[in-house]
Amino acid sequence: MTDQESLLLSRRGFLAGACCAAAAPVLAPVSFAAMPGDNRFVTIILRGAMDGLDLVQPYGDPAFAALRPKLGRMPDTGLLDLDGFFGLNPAAAPLMPLWQARELSFVHAVSTPYRNQRSHFDGQDILETGGNDKSQKTGWLNRTLAVIPQSGRRTAIDINASMDLILTGPNRVASWSSQSNFALAEDELAFLERLYAQDAPFAEALAEARSTDISADSLYSDGKRGGGIADMARLAGGMLKGDYRIASFSINGWDTHVGQQAQFRKAVADLSTAIVTLKDSLGAEAWGKTVVLAMTEFGRTARENGTGGTDHGTGGLAVLAGGAATGGKVLGQWPGLAPDSLLDQRDLMPTGDVREVAAAMLYQQFGISPGNLTTKVFPGLSFDKSSIYLRA
Amino acid sequence: MALANETLAAIRYGYGLRPGETAPRDAAGLLAQLEAGRTAKLRFPREGVAGRRETATRIISLRAAESKATKEGKPNEAIRRQTQREAQRIYRQDAMARLAQAVYSPLGFHERLATFWTDHFSTSAMKSLPMRMVVPLYEAEAVRPNMAGTFARLLKAAILHPAMLIYLDQDQSIGPDSVAAQKSGRGLNENLGRELLELHTLGAGSGYTQADVRAAALILTGLSVDNRALQVVYKPRFAEGGAITLLGQDYDGDEGEGQDHMLMLEDLAAHPKTAGHICRKLVSHFVDDTPPEELVTPMLEAWTRTSGNLTDVYRAMLEHPRAWSDPGRKIKQPFDFVASGLRAFGLPETSLTDLSRDMDQADVDDGAVDKAMKMASDMAGAVAGQVTGQGAGQMEGDAALTGAPAIGGETVANEAKRRGGRANSLTLGALQRMRQPIWQPPSPAGFADQASVWLSPSQLTERISWSRNMAKAYGQTIEPLPLLDAALADAAGPETRKIIGQAPNKLHGITMVLASPEFNRR
């Protein structure tokens, strides 16, 4: 189905439903297709601090194996080699076809300007508000809407139904949720277990609920979670295929302090499902005009901890996918994992600003001027047309 | 663990802390609420007591007329449907108002007592269609005005209300030797007689016999309900004559006077077993499933000294140090959990009226929604299928919160339905799922009160799920730790504080505040 056909379909449904005209631009389908504004942009917030060193493992770095005795892999132990230095966690195998089609890239060692505190709440606030600190009160993707040329013709959607700060602000955003029931992420369950560890009857009730998966609306089923993520991505893809050009949603489950291997596998499966489903539901043509940026509040410690996990760190990893993304590369400036190269001798040293990655994509997709990007969208960011993420 | 008095008073004796509200710090402060409660605004019945009597009798009369017409072969389906719908809506609005009452009244102890006594003298809105409208009226006019005076007065007000007589089938009970029985062949219904002894006064296993149950039922004969006027009436033709002996006491059967049941209720209220039953039940409700005798003893003394003056009985409990120690042994019942969660967020009262309106709107638009849904599913492609995909939406249940995008036949009416579903999943629907729908106890014994009942795996799952829905609905402008302080103050343990501060995302941090053991215990 072409864009025009899908637009016709949705327009007809729209008129038949006799809904509010304010919700969508009334345009002839042909002029819509001809508009210079066919590009799409999706952000996925990976909440809980995604371990970039686990997703894209620098197996070629001489210090890596010693830092990650349990979590680290090599190409001969299942790691999916990307470029002879980095390899992809095998849990992300569903993404390999995109890598091979040059529709997937990674940006290593990036972070927000947030330093030293390593609090999820503050880290996510800064990631979503896009400032140098917590002074910004609205989401950067919301502010973006005001500076897109001809922005009245484009609409954005928050697939999480109103919780995400990134799209919160003065500009109009539609907020939707798929109707699927949603299961808790593994790290959220681990936190509940900790919360209840002090109270035996609560701990027992939770353990039993998890083991029996009692009700149809259970919070604990992996299957339900996968289905929920797929529904969310399908909803986003469908909306973007129609009138929407910007969408955002979150994937939880990345706070892997204990037993990371199993938890991470599930979270990566969620991310893979989201990206692959987005591609499928957008269709080839729209996917070709789409960039998906998945990013997290900060990375995790370079060294494994004593409980098979990792703790809050600094330098992290961003994921770029889509037909409009320059694919098949691990971008960024690799700082190395030698002890002196680490930040505070513990974290991957951030060598790039994740906001610059976002700014480059907004510039590329919507033609937003660097002046607007560095003042209104990301106040305090250095970005111009020579950005390495544009030359990539 | 010792808590600040204000914290303990709000959590153990009220519906929890609410930002901007000052909780009482001692027995006198809590008891002062009883006086204030007399004149405080009551949010249900929505039309007020007199207005409700008018509405209810009008609807009941309409249905009676329709029943009569049906018997004569002229049924009017529209009137049946319309009255049913109206009664159902009145009930739903009152139930939302009852929730709002618990959330927004600053008189938490007064409100908790109203819940306690409404549950002690249980009636159910599910008994019949008229009861949807009568049960809220019952709480407002029989229970609430009488819970600070003597137990005898409260007992008489509760038993001698149409709601109780209908609920426990007293209107169906006829003395076997009465004039009416000889003509109709109908007979005695022991339901109210039994529950009066077992639940309302003496208590189960307190030594009465089956003969006493029957005697109580016989003494109650003659009491009935004028359904159209919603009044208790005494029908001498239903009354059993002759002397009846209950618990060794003779009731003479002064036919026609209808005073025997009043004497019986007074005697039962004054019975020592009743005092023991009620005092222990109060303590096990507020303090601990196993009532500490040190706390019960002074209450019994107060009861004896004042002939069952309830304010004095509450005072005896509240002035004892044990009433202020050892918190956390009870689990909040679902209604209390939901009410205290809504309180913790400090939401303005418009938040609940908005939810109530969303539910009304979804209801009003039912027909249009169904049509729109049909149209949407006929027309829509894969995308629309996702967007309009129905599902109960209990966990997510999210409506379009801003904007009304028009993709694939999504309509305004459809959005109303979503909003209604979301409002329901935050309030009445959540209580249904947690097994405590408002004014619908599972039996005349009321809702279970033991901590263990409310801490099952499925209960916990529902509570976590509701907490997450609350976080999504109201969590945008709140941080987890400030919410923890607002909700629990010093009742939040250090470990809980630490874990919530480290939550992997705000949504889950806020969820964990409400799902924490401290927030579910009292």
Q: Which of B301-320 are b and which e, b meaning 16 or more Cβ less than 10 Å from the residue's Cβ?
A: ebbeeeebbbbbbbbbbbeb
Contact B435, B459 (CB under 8 A): yes
| CA dist list (Å): A322 to A128, A235, A239 | 21, 17, 16
Question: Is residue A309 domain-shared with residue A350, that is, in the same domain?
Answer: yes
User: Cβ separation of A243 and B457 shorter than 8 Å?
Assistant: no
Residue B327 distance to chain A (closest CA, Å) = 14
Whether B285 is in a domain gets the answer no
- Under the banding of pLDDT at 50, 70 and 90, the label for residue B248 is very high
Average pLDDT, chain B: 90
Residue A169 is part of a domain; what is its CATH number? 3.40.720
**What is the Cα–Cα distance from A178 to A182, expressed in whole angstroms?**
9
How much is the pTM?
A: 0.86
Mean pLDDT of A122-126: 95
A351 CB-near residues (< 8 Å, 6+ apart): A109, A110, A315, A332, A333, A334, A335
Whether A363 is in a domain gets the answer yes
Contact B203, B274 (CB under 8 A): yes
Residue B288 distance to chain A (closest CA, Å) = 16
Please report where in the chains the tokens 């405080």 appear, as a residue.
B40
Half-sphere exposure of B144 (CA within 13 A, CB side): 27
Q: What pLDDT sits at residue A192? A: 97
- Provide the angle, in degrees to the nearest 10, between the axes of the packed helices B48-71 and B129-138: 160
Domain hosting residue B237, numbered range:
168-270
**What is the Cα–Cα distance from B166 to B172, expressed in whole angstroms?**
8
Q: What pLDDT sits at residue A10? A: 33
Q: What pLDDT sits at residue B84? A: 93
Contact A248, A44 (CB under 8 A): yes
- For B327-340, how does the pLDDT look when each residue is reduced to its tens digit (9 = 90+)? 999 999 999 999 99
Mean pLDDT of A277-281: 97
The number of domains in chain A is: 2
Chain B residues within an 8 Å CB radius of A6: 381, 383
The yes-or-no verdict on residue B393 having pLDDT over 50 is no
Average pLDDT, chain A: 86
Q: What pLDDT sits at residue A33? A: 23
Least confident of A111-120, B64-73, B383-392: B383-392
Residues of chain B with pLDDT > 70: what percent?
90
Whether A27 is in a domain gets the answer no
Question: Is residue A291 domain-shared with residue A311, that is, in the same domain?
Answer: yes
Point out the domain boundary residue: A196, A220, A244. A220
Whether A95 is in a domain gets the answer yes
Q: Nearest Cβ partner of B396 from A181, A184, A220?
A: A181
Question: Is residue A162 domain-shared with residue A127, that is, in the same domain?
Answer: yes
**What is the Cα–Cα distance from B78 to B62, expressed in whole angstroms?**
11
Mean pLDDT of B112-131: 97
Domain hosting residue A196, numbered range:
184-220
Mean pLDDT of A212-218: 70
Q: What pLDDT sits at residue B368? A: 45
Question: Is residue A230 domain-shared with residue A84, that is, in the same domain?
Answer: yes
- Under the banding of pLDDT at 50, 70 and 90, the label for residue A179 is low
Mean pLDDT of B245-267: 85
Q: Which of B164-187 are b and which e, b meaning 16 or more Cβ less than 10 Å from the residue's Cβ?
A: bbbbbebbbbbbeebbbbeeeeee
Q: Is A306 on the interface with B (CB under 8 A)?
A: no
Give the CA radius of gyration of chain A.
21
Q: What pLDDT sits at residue B186? A: 85
Whether A12 is in a domain gets the answer no
Residue type at position A356: E
Whether B320 is in a domain gets the answer no
Question: Is residue A240 domain-shared with residue A252, that is, in the same domain?
Answer: yes
User: Cβ separation of B400 and A157 shorter than 8 Å?
Assistant: no
Mean pLDDT of B161-179: 95
Question: Is residue A293 domain-shared with residue A323, that is, in the same domain?
Answer: yes
Q: Which of B422-444 are b and which e, b meaning 16 or more Cβ less than 10 Å from the residue's Cβ?
A: bbbbbbbbbbbbbbbbbbbbeeb
User: Cβ separation of B476 and A163 shorter than 8 Å?
Assistant: yes
CA angle, corner A151, sides to B404 and B405, nearest 5? 10
- For B217-228, how does the pLDDT look when each residue is reduced to its tens digit (9 = 90+)? 999 999 999 998
Q: Nearest Cβ partner of A180 from B396, B409, B506?
A: B396
- Under the banding of pLDDT at 50, 70 and 90, the label for residue A26 is very low
Question: Is residue A353 domain-shared with residue A383, that is, in the same domain?
Answer: yes
**What is the Cα–Cα distance from A42 to A239, expressed in whole angstroms?**
11
Q: What pLDDT sits at residue A47? A: 95
Whether A280 is in a domain gets the answer yes
Whether B266 is in a domain gets the answer yes
Mean pLDDT of B94-115: 98
Whether B248 is in a domain gets the answer yes
- For A284-338, how does the pLDDT look when each residue is reduced to its tens digit (9 = 90+)? 999 999 999 999 999 999 999 999 999 999 999 999 999 999 899 999 999 999 9
Mean pLDDT of B416-433: 93
Question: Is residue A229 domain-shared with residue A356, that is, in the same domain?
Answer: yes
- Under the banding of pLDDT at 50, 70 and 90, the label for residue B415 is confident
Q: Nearest Cβ partner of B407 from A168, A209, A242?
A: A242
Whether B200 is in a domain gets the answer yes
**What is the Cα–Cα distance from A66 to B292, expressed in whole angstroms?**
60
Question: Is residue A210 domain-shared with residue A304, that is, in the same domain?
Answer: no
Residues of chain B with pLDDT > 90: what percent?
84
Q: Is A188 on the interface with B (CB under 8 A)?
A: yes
Contact B429, B402 (CB under 8 A): no
Chain A residues within an 8 Å CB radius of B503: 120-121, 191
The number of domains in chain B is: 1
Question: Is residue A198 domain-shared with residue A231, that is, in the same domain?
Answer: no
Whether A9 is in a domain gets the answer no
Q: What pLDDT sits at residue A9? A: 29
Question: Is residue A308 domain-shared with residue A332, that is, in the same domain?
Answer: yes
The yes-or-no verdict on residue A28 having pLDDT over 70 is no
| DSSP per residue, B63-101 | HHHHHHHHHTT---HHHHHHHHHHHHHHHHHHHHHHHHH
Residue A180 distance to chain B (closest CA, Å) = 7
The yes-or-no verdict on residue A195 having pLDDT over 90 is yes
- For B130-160, how does the pLDDT look when each residue is reduced to its tens digit (9 = 90+)? 999 999 999 999 999 999 999 999 999 999 9
Mean pLDDT of A127-154: 86
Question: Is residue A125 domain-shared with residue A155, that is, in the same domain?
Answer: yes
Q: Nearest Cβ partner of B398 from A121, A177, A199?
A: A177
The yes-or-no verdict on residue B402 having pLDDT over 60 is no
Mean pLDDT of A1-8: 33
Residue A100 distance to chain B (closest CA, Å) = 28
- For A31-48, how does the pLDDT look when each residue is reduced to its tens digit (9 = 90+)? 122 234 789 999 999 999
**What is the Cα–Cα distance from B92 to B299, expressed in whole angstroms?**
38
